[in-house]
Structure 1
Amino acid sequence: MIDFTNTVEPQRWRATNDGVMGGLSQGGLKFSDEVSVFSGNISLENNGGFSSIYRPVVPLDRGLDAATIEFIGDGLTYQMRVAVAINGYRVSYKHEFETQAGVRQSVTLPLSEFKAVFRGRIIQGAPTLKSEDIRQVGFLVTSKQQGPFALTLFSLKIQPTYKEV
């Protein structure tokens, strides 16, 4: 579990904004008022339009099948992203989730529904995401609109889901 109420958690995260492609968006993860906040400003200038944060994770157990995120959003759509190592290759997977402005929410995202992507495009025929392959977790916002964003994060758990029989 990643506990975003831990004061040192933001130090484990790195930001990648659209500046890598010439854009002007800014964002990152900071600790404020007992929680971690992924925030910044999206700019569409110079073909920009995204901000992301990521951190490495220790290898996870086999058979975990869902990610649960607890957060307060701003009404924008975000992506949870993971990077995996498969046969020596790095592959990224994403799953979008909606937020309601100012409402504390918890969403559970089945790993089987994450889509493999490369530079925003879906990779057809990619293997299904498996927990034991995950090496990095992150979040991305790309709203196609200029302006501020803020996602207050409380926790991220990758765990088995228990289905009643």
Structure 2
Amino acid sequence: MKKIYTFSQQTKPNEWRIVNDGVMGGISNSSIQLIDNKYGQFSGHVSLENNGGFASIQLDISQPVEEKKHIVLRVKGDGKTYEFRLKGFSDQPESYVHSFNTTGEWENIKLPINQFYPQFRGRRLNLSNFNFKTIEQLSFLIANKQEEDFTLLIDWIALE
């Protein structure tokens, strides 16, 4: 397993970009902050007002996939469902998406890279699943079609 991002005392949470539904007129809000000098906390409130309904954080990264088969996330959620998203090129319009459920406990979540499917603005596309040689962007997103507060603690992200 190769860790490609770890939250630590040296982490700068402002490396992550916040992208919420305000880009479409919504009023959801979120933040990313370093907690106890060792965890990233993605938290906020998803609102359905003004055609809203999602909150996300994105990180530009240049990481070869090589022969790796899985993304592994070390997270502690709040029992809600989140999406982890990849892009093979930072300027491509579609994201490659895999949902995951959280239990409220620390857990390692293993997501097969070849099961990340293409999506644009919430619609699945008729394209191949993720098959790029490099990951140029990764993101966490919550969009459960309901108004809710959320908190996701992130320890690290790895390739396996």
Report the Cα distance in structure 2 between the residues aligned to 1:44 and 1:89, rounded to whole angstroms: 27
Displacement of 1:147 in angstroms is 2.3
How many residue pairs were aligned?
156
Deviation of the 1:62 alpha carbon: 2.0
Distance 1:89 1:104 in 2: 32
Counterpart-to-counterpart distance in 1, 2:132 and 2:106: 26
User: Could you tell me how far 1:100 is from its partner in structure 2?
Assistant: 1.1
Q: 1:91 to 1:45 in 2, by over 3 A?
A: closer
From the superposition, tell whether residues 132 and 9 of structure 1 become closer, same or farther in structure 2 (CA, over 3 Å): farther
Q: For 1:21, which of 21, 24, 28 is the aligned residue? A: 24
Q: What is the TM-score when the length of structure 1 is the normalising length?
A: 0.87
Q: Tell me which residue corresponds to 1:113.
A: 115
For 1:85, what is the secondary structure of its paired residue? coil
Cα 1:33/1:111, change in 2 over 3 Å: same
Contact residue 62 and residue 134 of structure 2 kept, 8 A = no
What residue ranges of structure 2 are gaps of 5+ in the alignment?
A: none
- The alignment status of 1:104 with 2:106, answered yes or no, reads yes
- Identity rate, percent: 33
Gaps of 5+ in 1: 160-165
2:81 corresponds to which of 74, 77, 89: 77
Q: What is the Cα deviation at residue 89 of structure 1? A: 4.5
Can you list the C-alpha shifts for 1:5-39, whole angstroms capped at 9, x where unaligned? Answer: 34424121001000000000001211122311000
Give the drift of 1:131. Answer: 5.1
Aligned match of 1:12 = 15
Letter of the aligned partner of 1:38 in structure 2? F
Aligned partners of 1:36, 1:154: CA distance in 2, in Å? 6
Contact 1:66–1:108 under 8 Å retained in 2: yes
Match in the other structure for 2:130: 129
Q: Which AA in structure 1 matches 2:18? A: A
TM-score, structure 2 as length reference: 0.90
Q: Distance in 1 between matches of 2:99 and 2:83?
A: 4
Provide the secondary structure at the position in 2 that maps to 1:19: helix
Flag the structure with larger Rg.
Answer: 1
1:67: how far off?
0.1
- Aligned letter for 1:139? F
Does residue 37 (structure 1) correspond to residue 38 (structure 2)? The answer is no
- Give the drift of 1:58: 1.6
CA distance in 2, matches of 1:37, 1:45: 24
Conservation of the 8 A alpha-carbon contact between 2:65 and 2:135: no
Answer whether contact 2:65 2:159 (CA < 8 A) is retained: no
